[in-house]
Amino acid sequence: MLHPAVSSRKTSRKKSTRQSTSTTGAAAEVVRSQARISCDRILVKRVHQSVDFLKVSFWIQWEDSKFLDLLDWLKKRLQSTDDEEVCVFKDCGLDWNLMRTGTNKFNYRLRSGDVTLLFNRREHYGNIPNFRIEIGSLTSQTALYQTIVNIKHWLERKHAVFMKEQVSEVHLAADFIGVDITTLDIANQDRWIQRAHDFDPHYKYRKLTGVSVGKGDIMLRVYDKVKELKGQEHKQEVFCDLWQLSSYDEHPVTRVEYQLRRPVLKEFQHLEFCNGVHTVKNFLFAIKALWSYCTTYWATFTKSTIDRKNNNQSKAKCSDFWKHVRAVVWIGMHEMRREKPVKHKNIEALRKQARGIFMSIAAFFISDPDAIDSIVEQSQTFLEQDLREFYKEESKFIRKMTQKRNEVLLDTVPF
């Protein structure tokens, strides 16, 4: 990120002036080539990367229910009115709007700017969290971690004890200032290598606004950020400052944004530091590795169309633009493994086979075909006897059980 300001000095002699101008021009070209990134014949003036959205679930043990009781009372009073949609809730210098309705899993919904707090009265030891924080674009870009810390400290003063924390969804974004999306040919699916099955180009008034790759737990969006901001005036000034521009639409801006949800986040492993991305600290530590995986192994935009008929996908070269997408500088560790258990055998078919075998064994000893209790008892007896007898040769049993496990599950899915 550079803003070269190279100027030639005037001299009294014309020859010196020509030499100075020539030298300065060459220097300027060198500086520009180092400072700006060329991508498909377009110069990237600047790159701004950030977390654009974060959803974190918590399990809270309340030592005192007064806070939830207050929310319940305020919500009932709000619902007793005909036209009021929110109730302004102020506490300890914090201003929140208590919404008239909750969600399908949370009774109470508080909002302040683009930060949403969701509460329910479930116990902390259940599967469903009883508190959630959702942080939108503006706060994520400017004060992400501090916002979470402040909210937790506020609730701890309300006698909340945080028992468990789980990152549910994250959006990682990089804005390429100076890059016009219409010059990249990203709507050409034949230039994409992707693990996802879904690919959707988006147009408005017959003009390309972006593409989306995949959906659900992991998804990529590449889109015209300036066009999106035209309908969001409250964000324009913030992004103008973040991009260091005089106006938000001074230059075209192409955004590359990845959405990752809980089922994918928990699959990323690091042998020394974490077994899955669970907490906010885990996530902040893993950002660099997540971006590397997404831009290198999950989706790649190539330099030219891919000859898939001749299986030349592996020979395809990364486009200039995508090289700089991969090169975005993030904090944290460089790599993590994505481990995803894959079942290689049909458990229902195995159970059906075992059921037939034990019915055949039981038929040797039980003549009454309706004696289900006797059939089950006889089957359990033989199964336990045989397994325990085999376990007497412990090393052989463990080796055989490990072999069976390896036949059923493939733990590590390579990048």
| Span 325-364, pLDDT tens digits | 999 988 765 556 666 555 556 777 888 888 889 899 888 8
How many secondary structure helices (H) and strands (E) does the chain include? Answer: 11, 19
Residues 6+ apart with CB under 8 A from 207: 182
Higher pLDDT, 110 or 316: 110
One domain, residues 393 and 333: no
Is residue 1 a part of any domain in this protein?
no
Same domain, 205 and 348: no
Of the chain, the end-to-end C-alpha distance in Å amounts to 31
Strand order in the sheet with 131-135: 86-91, 94-99, 108-112, 115-119, 131-135, 46-62, 160-177, 253-261, 218-224, 207-215, 199-204
Q: Are residues 321 and 352 in the same domain?
A: no
Of the three residues 285, 309, 341, the one that is the final residue of a domain is 341
Residue 386 carries which DSSP code?
A: H
C-beta of residue 219 within 8 angstroms of C-beta of residue 208: no
Domain boundary among 297, 319, 341: 341
> Could you list the residue range(s) of the whole structural domain that residue 390 is in?
344-412
When divided into structural domains, the chain yields a total of 2
Q: For residue 414, count CB atoms less than 10 angstroms from its CB and return exposed for 0-12, middle for 13-18, buried for 19 or more.
A: exposed
245 domain residue, yes or no: yes
Q: Which of 341, 368, 401 is the last residue of a domain?
A: 341
Same domain? For 210 and 322 the reply is yes
**Are 208 and 137 found together in one domain?**
yes
Residue 345 near residue 352 (C-beta atoms within 8 A): no
Q: Do 136 and 284 fall within a single domain?
A: yes
Shared domain check, 99 and 242: yes
For residue 268, give the amino acid letter.
Answer: F
pLDDT at 320 over 70: yes
pLDDT range class, residue 2, cuts 50, 70, 90: very low
Q: Does the residue 20 lie in any domain?
A: no
Q: Is there a domain that residue 254 lies in?
A: yes
Say what the pTM is: 0.71
Same domain, 283 and 373: no
Nearest to 317 by CA among 404, 210, 413, 193: 193
What is the mean pLDDT of the segment spanning 77-90? 88
Residue 12 maps to a domain = no
Same domain, 66 and 180: yes
